[in-house]
Amino acid sequence: MVDVAGTIRRFRPRMSLATENLADDYIAVPQEVRKVDANYRKECGLCRQTGFFGYRPEILYFTPQ
């Protein structure tokens, strides 16, 4: 079995993670990344309009600091 968290800690990759699948992905995905390594900077990528004034990211970019 692959240890994804260990691989991220060891190699500290830049990551582009999709957040368009579940309604709370844009909140849950950064929380999971922080659990693995709190030293990642988050940036929003492509966004989607969710209502008249609402927007949410479909992709989040994570860069190690």
| Cα 59 from Cα 41, distance rounded (Å) | 14
Rounded to two decimals, what is the model's pTM? 0.87
Q: Which tens digit of pLDDT belongs to each residue from 4-13?
A: 999 999 999 9
At residue 25, the 3 state secondary structure works out as helix
DSSP letter at 21 equals S
pLDDT of residue 51: 87
The DSSP symbol for 53 reads S
Token code pair at residue 1: 């079995």
% of the chain at pLDDT higher than 90? 83
pLDDT at site 2: 83
